[in-house]
Amino acid sequence: MGAVCAIQMAYNLQNPIVPRYLIGLGTRETMLLEFSSTIVALILAGKVGSNIASELGTMRVTEQIDALEMMGVNSACYLILPKIAAFVFFIPVLTVFSMAIGLLGGYVASFSTAGLTPHDYVVGITSFFRPFYVTYALIKSLVFAFIIASVSSYHGYYAFGGALEVGKSSTHAVVYSSIVVLMFNLILTKLLL
């Protein structure tokens, strides 16, 4: 995504008045503020969210959750809390990797993009850096992680019926968590920036 951002900005900013380093600056701002946290969250909502919902849904329809409750185990705490904790812990790590790889992709693209040199790109990504943007992306990723894990767990935990309903609960988990992530993206952007 960083490579695509750099190429598109270089293509659209072909003006002798505009400094070339603004391509790197724009790529950095785009990756840090929006793409790294939001796109990673949406991808993981589709992959991990559906896995969580289908796993818990299968456990519900095969009465494994009922068996845990009959043994006196708090099934929600036993099954859902570790998923939420792991997701909240690991998504910020993936977001940082996404930032680094995106900026590196823009650097690699600067070698083959007309009108953009690697030096201009590096000057752009190091100019006017605000460390709060990284903090902002990590806060968003924490909130998105909690949303994805909890919404997916809810849909899987309360699935009923048979295999068809497990598939529907998995689909609902992905759709609803994606919508809530996009809504909270707007809310957090309004509150934090």
Per-domain boundaries in the chain: 35-106+130-192
Contact present, 160 and 60 (Cβ < 8 Å) = yes
Give me the pLDDT at residue 129, please: 94
Give me the pLDDT at residue 42, please: 96
Q: Under DSSP, is residue 159 helix (H, G, I), strand (E, B) or coil? A: coil
Place of tokens 């990504």: 125
Give me the pLDDT at residue 62, please: 94
- What's the burial of 23, exposed, middle or buried (CB within 10 Å: 0-12/13-18/19+)? buried
Query: From residue 183, how far is each of 40, 59, 89, 146 by CA, in Å?
Result: 15, 30, 22, 14
Give me the pLDDT at residue 18, please: 87
Contact present, 47 and 105 (Cβ < 8 Å) = no
Instruction: Find how far residue 1's CA is from the centre of its chain.
Output: 13
* Residues of the chain scoring pLDDT < 70: none
Nearest of 39, 24, 34, 44 to residue 152 by alpha carbon = 44
Per-residue pLDDT of 115-141, as tens digits, reads 789 999 999 999 999 999 999 999 999
The Cα angle at residue 190 between residues 187 and 191, in degrees rounded to 5 = 85
Give me the pLDDT at residue 190, please: 96
> Hey, what are 164's tokens?
């068809």
